[in-house]
Each structure stands twice: as structure tokens, then as C-alpha cells.
Amino acid sequence: MIPPIASNFVAGEGPAEALDHVRDLNDGDVKGILNLLGEHYQERPPADEDADAYVDLVDDIHESDVDACISVKPSQIGLDVGDDVFVENLDRIVDHAAAREVFVWIDMEDHTTTDVTLDAYERLARETDGMVGVCTQANLKRTGEDLQRLAPLPGKVRLVKGAYDEPKEIAYKKKSEVDRMYREYLELMFREFEGGVAVGSHDPAMIDVARELHDEHGTDFEVQMLMGVREDAQFELAEEYEVWQYIPYGSKWFSYFYRRIRERKENALFALRAVVGN
């Protein structure tokens, strides 16, 4: 069982708890993006197993009344084993999901995976007429070109600042530079995309930029934030805009929880208060 201290950031060990969490969110008009925790499998069996679990999760979403979609990490479904394993498992998940009108997001991992991930996205976006989305990272210098390529496709694109420590030759390293590029890429997206813009950030400044760009261009957008981070803001924003919460669940919760705690002082203080019961 997940200890109460971690349950702020992780919905539970199984899909039933995750779907219960989505039901509560849906009451406040926030929708759910479900992510089964797991990544970097070096062998095929665990990658196939997680792909199977996503197929079952799609059935659960389809058969329930929740407003939810899924988000999959390439290395979780076989990218480290081989590009062909990743593509085969992704196709299997997306075919199953599209037939049941469940949307599939593809998370973006480090820069060595960008091409294969975008190629798979482009093909599936066309084949399913937009039932997939992909993440792009503002810290990568290539992202402007990638966004131009993605703009005419059906589907959705989530812009994040980027979670991976990339080499300085190909990435912006300073926070101020990444923030500047995030704004610039948002401008490009609201200008060039017909819709399907997802703002994957907790940063109030970036959300304000998106609101202004929406007023200027009228382009549809949604805000995406993580479970346990600025949840009050999520519900407040949902009164005006589409808001999706990214919800991790599964037995491999510890390292994810540990990352969230290390990331910010506020989260550590929250965890400490939970322990001392104050």
C-alpha cells in the first residue's frame, strides 16, 4: 500500500484507485491523464506487460464514466530494447484506444529518443485522425523546427520545459533561457496550430502568457499539471479553461515520489508535515 505521505503525488498501486481519483477530479471539472509508473526496461517481457496493462486500462476507461486518457513513456514499452518493440507496442495500444475513443499521449524522454518518438507520433496522428498527442521540450534547441513539423498534423502537442539533463550543444541550460524559449514556442504554437495546444507547466507566468495568446489568436488550448502540484490552481483554472491532471499510479511509485520531494522545498515540507501530523 502507498503510505499517506506519497498519496498526494501518486493515485494508488492499481487502476481502480487511479480511476477513483479521476472521478473525484471530474467532480471539479478537471480531467485525468493516467500514467502507469515504469520506464527504461532493458528486456522485452516487462515492456510487453506494461503495454498489456495500458490496453486493459483503456478498456477500464471505456467501460467507466470517467473523463480520462492515458500517457505512455517510450522506454516503458520497449524503446531501450529496440525501436521496433516500441513501435509495435505503441501501435497496439493506440489501435485499441482509438477504436474506443480513448486519447493516448506519448511522453518525451531524453534527446536520443526525440526522432523515433516524433516519427511514431506523426504516423499515428494521421492514421487515427488526431487521437494521439506528443510532448515537446522547450529546453531543446531543435524544438522550434519540430513544432513547425507538428503544426499541420491532427492531434495535440504538450509543451513542457524539459525534465532531462541534456548536453549544452543541443539544449538551453539556464532557467531564464528555457523560460524565454517556452514563451517563444507558445507564441509559435498559438499562431501556427489550429488547436490541440497543451500547456504542460505549473508556472503561473507561462499560464498567463497562454491566456493572453488565446485571447489574441483564439486557438484552443488546455492546461496540464501533475497530481499534487498546485491543485487549487488546477480547479480554479478549470472554471475557465480545459484542465487535465497527470496522474501516476502503480507499484513503482517510490522513485517518482522521491523525485517530486527532491524537486521542491514546498513538497518536502508538505511531506514532513504529513509525518509529524501537523
110 vs 218 by CB, closer to ligand FAD: 110
Strand 30-36 versus strand 104-106 pairing type = unpaired
> CA 74, CA 80: separation in Å to the nearest integer?
8
Contact between 161 and ligand FAD (CB under 6 A)? yes
Write down the catalytic residue from 50, 158, 179, 260.
158
SS3 114: helix
232 - beta bridge partners?
none
Reply yes or no on whether 95 is catalytic. no
Q: How many residues belong to the chain?
A: 278
Contact between 80 and ligand FAD (CB under 6 A)? no
Residue span binding ligand FAD (CB under 6 A) among the ranges 45-53, 96-104, 140-148, 220-228:
220-228
Contact between 146 and ligand FAD (CB under 6 A)? no
Scanning 64-203, the segments in alpha helix (DSSP H) are 83-99, 114-127, 143-150, 175-192
Reply yes or no on whether 158 is catalytic. yes
SS3 264: coil
Minimum CB–partner distance for residue 257 and ligand FAD (Å): 13
Write down the catalytic residue from 107, 146, 179, 260.
107
> CA 88, CA 256: separation in Å to the nearest integer?
26
> CA 134, CA 155: separation in Å to the nearest integer?
8
70 vs 226 by CB, closer to ligand FAD: 226
> CA 79, CA 37: separation in Å to the nearest integer?
15
Minimum CB–partner distance for residue 187 and ligand FAD (Å): 16
Minimum CB–partner distance for residue 170 and ligand FAD (Å): 14
Contact between 202 and ligand FAD (CB under 6 A)? yes
Applying CB under 6 A, among 246, 249, 253, 257 the residue interacting with ligand FAD is: 246
Applying CB under 6 A, among 68, 86, 90, 107 the residue interacting with ligand FAD is: 107
> CA 250, CA 73: separation in Å to the nearest integer?
14
Contact between 75 and ligand FAD (CB under 6 A)? no
Applying CB under 6 A, among 68, 160, 197, 207 the residue interacting with ligand FAD is: 160
Burial status of residue 275 (CB atoms within 10 A of its CB: 0-12, 13-18, 19 or more): exposed
Q: Which of residues 117-136 bind ligand FAD (CB under 6 A)?
A: 135
Asked if 7 contacts 218 with a C-beta cutoff of 8 angstroms, the reply is no
Applying CB under 6 A, among 2, 22, 124, 226 the residue interacting with ligand FAD is: 226
Contact between 266 and ligand FAD (CB under 6 A)? yes
Contacts of 87 (CB under 8 A, 6+ apart): 116, 120
What is the separation of C-alpha 202 from the centre of its chain, rounded to a whole number of angstroms? 13
Phi, psi for residue 136 in degrees, rounded to 5: -125, 155
20 vs 266 by CB, closer to ligand FAD: 266
Contact between 229 and ligand FAD (CB under 6 A)? yes
Residues with active-site annotation: 107, 158
Interface residues with ligand FAD (CB under 6 A) are 107-108, 135, 137, 160-164, 200-204, 224-226, 229-230, 246, 264, 266-267
